[in-house]
Amino acid sequence: MAKRDLISIHDLSREEVETLFELATEMKADPGLFANALVGKSLAMIFQKSSTRTRVSFEVGMTQLGGHALFLSSNDIQIGRGETISDTAHVLARFVDCIMARTFAHQDVVDLARFASVPVINGLSDDLHPCQALADFLTLREAFGSDLSGRKIAYVGDGNNVAHSLLFGAAKAGMNISIASPRGFEVATNYLELASEDAAAAGVQIELTESPVEAVSGASAVYTDVWASMGQEEEAASRLEAFRGFQVDGALMAEARPEAIFLHCLPAHRGEEVSAEVADGPQSRIFDQAENRMHAQKALLVWLIQSV
């Protein structure tokens, strides 16, 4: 069977996404059952950018499955001195059973998957963050049950990597999604078009607006992310201005459904995209969401590595 990768949630069928959620739920409930699932297996983790959650959840996840993970900062491996992605992929695949990469250019993770004979996981690129979306919808299933149809998630903020993967995740999980971004910071057209195809196939709606209130109206979950992503540090000040009025605060949460939960991929900037009262308030599920990175990724690792 051909190896599989996880570059984008778009590449998974709805049935495969459902399989991953069910496996993750089983693993979370009874981790001991899977303690030997990946004995003797190794995961190489390439990081071109910083990370707390992705690094720790993948490394601890591999340990819990009986396997091993290697942290490879791109500054410490030869990629940092110009070795090609192609040679790196070929070489790592001779040693390890899976590669996870956090990159700037999305093409780097695409090329790793192309040249490595082992599964490659996108641990965040400038364009997409599929592992985050798996954890996000696992968290939503825990809050509202496995049938999310008829519910809406609102994303308020930058049309970035997290927003793109949330679009795909919503379509695969069968949830309506509304995204509010300031003009000039909307989701990218190519990902919107692909996600719209997935949404049409799933019979769910994608709505885009410049109004945070319109986006969160009727929503069961309100999601935001930083206004300046990794690699956009120089734009941080101008973005503060551009995103004025897009903070998720108590007043905005009050426009959502009464049972609505608040989600954020983290790291968060309290006082910018989210107020402290919301991030640390009773509707917040941000730490469950962070924990669920590990459960979702353990399921992903077992699914990808065992099926090779």
Question: Rounded to an integer, what distance in angstroms lies between the CA atom of residue 8 and that of residue 147?
Answer: 22
Cβ at position 158, least distance to ligand NVA in Å? 7
Cβ at position 112, least distance to ligand CP in Å? 18
- Is 51 a binder of ligand CP (CB under 6 A)? yes
Cβ at position 225, least distance to ligand NVA in Å? 5
Which two tokens mark 219?
Answer: 């929503």
CA dihedral over 243, 213, 260, 11, signed as positive or negative: negative
Cβ at position 121, least distance to ligand NVA in Å? 15
Q: In terms of CB distance, is 42 or 292 closer to ligand NVA?
A: 292
**The entry of ligand NVA, ligand CP, none that residue 153 binds, CB within 5 to 8 Å by partner kind:** none
Q: In terms of CB distance, is 229 or 283 closer to ligand NVA?
A: 229
- Is 265 a binder of ligand NVA (CB under 6 A)? yes
List C-alpha distances in Å: 78 to 75, 230, 275, 291. Answer: 8, 22, 41, 32
- Is 180 a binder of ligand NVA (CB under 6 A)? no
- Is 161 a binder of ligand NVA (CB under 6 A)? yes
- Is 265 a binder of ligand CP (CB under 6 A)? yes
Which are the contacts of 104, defined by CB distance < 8 A and separation ≥ 6? 48, 49, 125, 126, 231
Which two tokens mark 217?
Answer: 């109206």
Q: In terms of CB distance, is 122 or 229 closer to ligand NVA?
A: 229
Q: In terms of CB distance, is 162 or 253 closer to ligand NVA?
A: 162
Question: Rounded to an integer, what distance in angstroms lies between the CA atom of residue 117 and that of residue 33?
Answer: 28
Task: State the pairing for strand pair 152-156/176-180.
Answer: parallel
- Cα angle at 119 between 117 and 123, to 5 degrees? 135
- For residue 148, report the phi and psi dihedrals to the nearest 5 degrees: -95, 5
Question: Rounded to an integer, what distance in angstroms lies between the CA atom of residue 134 and that of residue 265?
Answer: 11
Cβ at position 150, least distance to ligand NVA in Å? 28
- Cα angle at 10 between 9 and 11, to 5 degrees? 90
CB atoms within 10 A of CB 147: 11
- Is 188 a binder of ligand NVA (CB under 6 A)? no
- CB 293, CB 57: distance < 8 Å: yes
Contacting range for ligand CP; rule: CB under 6 A; set: 49-57, 74-82, 110-118, 146-154: 49-57
Kindly tell me which residue out of 5, 108, 111, 225 binds ligand NVA, with binding defined by CB under 6 A. 225
Active site positions, annotated: 102, 129, 132, 225, 265, 293
Kindly tell me which residue out of 96, 109, 113, 124 binds ligand CP, with binding defined by CB under 6 A. 124
Residue of 158, 161, 185 whose CA lies nearest to 7: 161
Cβ at position 52, least distance to ligand CP in Å? 3
Q: In terms of CB distance, is 171 or 268 closer to ligand CP?
A: 268
Q: Which residues bind ligand CP (CB under 6 A)?
A: 51-54, 124, 132, 265-266
Q: Which residues bind ligand NVA (CB under 6 A)?
A: 124, 160-162, 225-226, 229-230, 265
